[in-house]
Chain A
Amino acid sequence: MNSYFLIAKRFLFPRNNFRSNTINFISFIGLFIGAASIVLSISVLNGFQNILQTETKKLYGDYLIEDFNNSKHPNYFRDSNFDNINLSTFFEDEFLILTQNKQHIIEFKSVSNESLDEFYELNLQDNLKFLFEDEIIIGKSLANRLNLDIGDNVQIISKDFKLSSLSLPEIYSFKVANIFSNRILKADNFLVFGVNKEIFRNNNVFVELNGNISELKNQSFSFLSWKDRNRQLFEATEIEKKITFFTLLLIIVVASFNLCSSIMQISSQKIRDLAIFSSIGMKKNDIKKIFIIYSYLIGLTALCGGILFALLLIFLQNKLSIIKLSSEFYLVDTLPMQIYPADIIWLLMGSILLIGIFTSIPLRFINNLSPMKIINKQL
């Protein structure tokens, strides 16, 4: 066994030294709790961010091509065979929906029946897979607001009052074929799906995509990811994650302070031993190495322990749904938890850096270690 590791290990578990053992244990617990708290908190934020992505994807896909011009690329997607991409081409505009005594601004999304079946996940009643031209699917909140139910008739008018040959606004009649429920971004309050394209005055075609878009990257159109489309919300969750990470990292800073005092105490207790090491030819940097190993033995064990403990809790929550939530408020009925390797790598890197800094501070005295003075003083 490496001599520095052996000595560090023996210093870490001294025989009959309750005080050192207690200080080491407190440092260990601090780092353990810090690491576990960070992993658990970040996993909850990741979980909600994941819900946001999943629910958004159900209605809007992963990517949007806003500047896809149908006349310029009329058969682009039809002629090309993209194995890893699922897409939906559609028209979209704002309209006014009218019932007998109520009206509301809606976003009418005219898609194909194929997309309705394969691209969007609306979780419709009776597993509806086909819409006629005069049928629409509306959101649950909109249906409640307008007192609508499946089978009811509504009228839709272009918000810029497209006029007929008789100079009257063109009014289109539709039947509510189904109702979807997806409260993400309040979508079911304004989003309406249909297959009718005649109500649109312009021919602007949009494309939504799911899958790997790398093979499309060299095309002239640009992509908006779900993050770009919901930038404010996404950035808010990202900032929340960062603030949580740095706030909880303070627990690790405090535990590192404790580790620093532990190193100061053990190094002053062992000053005679350090002088002996020097007298038998150990370099000063190698003496420092002992305490750095000592520190990282506590630190890494506690960090790994804390991370593993948190991973176990995340696993149990995802398997057994221990913590329940009200789906009315949170979109989901159990606390979502998800952790990514990158989060753990950031945590480990940050903690390793902090432990290194706080360990090196008390070790500066070793540069001035005079073995002769220490050994002779004892005489």
Chain B
Amino acid sequence: MIIDIKKLTKTFIDGDRKLNVLKDINLQIEKGSIVTIKGPSGSGKSTLLSIIGTLDSADSGDILINGKNIRDELNIDQLRNKNIGFVFQFHNLISELTLEENVCLPKMIANELIDKNEINELFEYFNLENRMNSFPNDLSGGEKQRVAVMRAIINNPSVIIADEPTGNLDQDNAQKITSLFQKLNTEKNLTIIIATHDESVFNIGHKKYHLVDGFLKIS
């Protein structure tokens, strides 16, 4: 088991109101699986993914990544760098860096040596080998999102967390990204968690969940 979530709760305070966004969430994710989560806007999907991705903290409950409780982790930034890759609705690439630099950023932050052959192969795998020195603004939306996926997988993370990865793409590009996730899962045995509104993306999950009223229910 790569991720084990136990009795996770999260509450937001909005003035006098107390919003229980996540209630007693339990979720086990096996290595090499795709987990998809669906729910209405504001249901807490992004909050759940942020907590799993260590960008936010839960009020109670535990999250174990590769058997280690993230509460006990002293260097949470390093854990995120090594174990978690993010893909957001917007590509969120750094516009001042070339595509190659954007993709290599997690490795540079980790102070790891960059294997030029590995980068070339990755760009070839994503059919962007001719765009390595381009800047994000020179790319189409679908290409930008592919680069964002490349950046997410460059450090061989334990899990890819994708929050509405096709939300900002047209149908054609959304289909390409969905296929890409399936291909990465099959060929590279990557573990992927996707929060989505899109039914076609939702259906690629080996395990599918609905997040309703703060509870996570298997579909």
A residues near B, CB below 8 A? 3, 6-7, 10-11, 14-15, 272-273, 276-283, 286, 370-372, 375-376, 378-379
Contacts and interface: CB of A to CB of B under 8 A. Distances in A.
Q: Which 7 A-B pairs have the closest CB atoms?
A: A281-B81, A3-B108, A10-B96, A372-B55, A372-B50, A281-B80, A372-B56
A375 B81 contact: no
Contacts of B78: 281
B82 interface: yes
Contact of A15 (B79, B96, B106, B151): B96
Interface of B: 46-47, 50, 53, 55-56, 77-82, 86, 88-90, 92, 94-97, 101, 105-106, 108-110, 135, 137, 151, 163-164, 167
A280 B54 CA distance: 11
Contacts of B81: 280-282
Contacts of B80: 279-281
A379 B88 contact: yes
B97 A376 contact: no
Given A281-B78, A281-B82, A286 B109 contact: yes
Contacts of A14: 96
Among B79, B90, B151, the most chain A Cβ lie within 10 Å of the Cβ of B90
A278 B94 CA distance: 13
A330 B216 CA distance: 89
A3 B86 CA distance: 19
Contact of B92 (A3, A281, A375): A375
A237 to B, nearest CB: 50
Nearest to B94: A273
5 contacts: A7-B94, A7-B97, A14-B96, A15-B135, A279-B55
Contacts of B97: 6-7, 10
A286 B90 CA distance: 24
B46 A280 contact: no
A7 B82 contact: no
B166 to A, nearest CB: 13
Contacts of B167: 379
Nearest to A276: B92
B55 A371 contact: yes
Contact of A378 (B53, B90, B110): B90
A283 B81 CA distance: 10
Contacts of B82: 281
Contact of A280 (B50, B56, B95, B106): B106
